[in-house]
Amino acid sequence: MAKLTPFTMPKWGIEMAEGTIAEWMVGENEPFVRGTVLTLIETDKITNEVEAERDGRFVRIMAEPGQTYPVGALLAVLSDGGEATAEEVDALISGFTPSESGFGPDDDGVASPAPAPPREEAAPARVTVPEGIAITPKAREEAERLGVDVTVISGSGRGGKISAQDVHQVARPEANPELVGVLPPTPEGDVFATPVARRIAANEGVDLSSLAGSGPRGRVRKADVLAALPKQDTPTAEAAPQPAPRPQPQPQVVSVSGDRFDVAPMSSMRRTIARRLSESKQQIPHFYVRRRVRADRLLAMRAGVEGERPSVNDYLIRACALALMEVPAVNIQVHGNDIHRYAASDISVAVATERGLVTPIVFNADDMTVAQIGTAMKGLAQKARSGKLRPEEFTGGSFSLSNLGGFGVEQFDAIINPPQGAILAVGTARPEPIDDAGAIRIVPVLNLSLSCDHRAIDGADGGRFMAALANLIEQPHLL
């Protein structure tokens, strides 16, 4: 008899209330092994891969790709691999009670309807935790109860403090891995593929780098590898029938007055962007300070850099960071009636992705060189476009920078990213006449626009910031 368990919407982070099923990576009644990516779930800013904690299969999948479900909602029914009747599956579904907490990244990935009766086992010998060990009270209690020697534990908490999770990890018996096949090494930067696709490719001798992935962000899936295998003229009796692919929801086509257009629901990330920016424009009194800045010296200095050159945006991040140190009244966040003034420049940089705008943060940019900022931004931009940013990498920040110069945009005004107090919008550098010590010259000029929260920043503060920023850009050796 199969053991059935609910597969529910997980909860990552305190503020998560819902998630969107981006794609199911396995189908109904398709066996999978531990470590297989089961589904991709989109949250506000990132896409999370949910891996199987044990072997099994889905006997029923209810959640549809592209649909959003609250935390704890029933998405599918898991089996340990055994057969289950439709009546048994229906009984579990009808008796399921949603959980508000879902499961976290350290849980088993399922929510059991009721705990099994505990087995009677010999109680471990209690130990006494020595004094002077950096350990939480809960971890101390668990270590003494489970008989764990904490002197051999390397704590994962702040300052090396031992947590209850560290104690449980040591107390948990090690599982003997079951070798199911030889897989080639997968160094960083290798082909983006699912574990099942890698296993089949290794067994069948298929070069993954030669395949065009059909999954999200070009991920190579099982179906891509199977399609690359040599076709057999006659089916054999041993050949297992392949399950029919799950139909993907098609965009709804609506006809109005003879014109046709596609209707697609907003993604979870797009809905978050819409909500936050609407609140920003409705609740924050914006005012704008605009200025033209000559960029010929900055561009000339960048052209003289040997080797890999930082981008213009990297220089602008550095300039903003130093200008914020000169005018700290702009380096703030606004929380209700409180103004949080920051001692370091944490610059949020707008990065366009296929799913929407993401603002990863360059922390302590005032203490970094332009080259260091360039290296940090490359890593952050790559993670943003692949949906791999951690929440702490895009949450917070004391100032924002949005640069549309790469798209040929000459000038624009940006919406403040709350709770920050200001954002700088940068257009492309285009030739314009300027007064250069009484002479008229035509040089590349940047059009800058600073959006400020008038609740916390006065016009004079915005003006001083723009003056400091212009001085840094026009005298780039100061950077």
Measured at the CA of 256, the angle between CA 252 and CA 257, to 5 degrees, comes to 155
Question: Tell me: the pLDDT tens digits for 71-105?
Answer: 889 999 888 877 778 888 888 888 888 765 444 43
Helix (H, G, I), strand (E, B) or coil at 284: coil
**Residue 354, class by beta-carbon neighbours within 10 Å (0-12 exposed, 13-18 middle, 19+ buried)?**
exposed
Strands (E), 124-258: 252-256
150 band by pLDDT with thresholds 50, 70 and 90 = confident
CA dihedral 86, 91, 92, 97 (to 10 degrees): 150
Helix (H, G, I), strand (E, B) or coil at 144: helix
- What is the pTM assigned to this prediction? 0.55
Helix (H, G, I), strand (E, B) or coil at 301: helix
Q: Which pLDDT score, from 0 to 100, does residue 317 have?
A: 97
Question: Tell me: the pLDDT tens digits for 24-55?
Answer: 988 888 889 888 889 988 876 677 788 888 88
- Would the pLDDT of 405 be above 80? yes
15 band by pLDDT with thresholds 50, 70 and 90 = low
Catalytic residue numbers?
454
Which residues on neighbouring strands pair with residue 436, listed in sequence order? 439
What is the number of other CB atoms lying within 10 angstroms of the CB of residue 8? 24
Give dist(CA 119, CA 117) in Å, integer: 6
Q: Which pLDDT score, from 0 to 100, does residue 194 have?
A: 78
Helix (H, G, I), strand (E, B) or coil at 478: helix
Q: Which pLDDT score, from 0 to 100, does residue 72 have?
A: 87
Q: What would you report as the CA-atom Rg of the chain, rounded to the nearest whole angstrom? A: 28
- Would the pLDDT of 243 be above 60? no
Give dist(CA 77, CA 67) in Å, integer: 17
Interacting residues of 79 by C-beta distance below 8 A, sequence separation 6+: 2, 3, 4, 56, 57, 58, 59
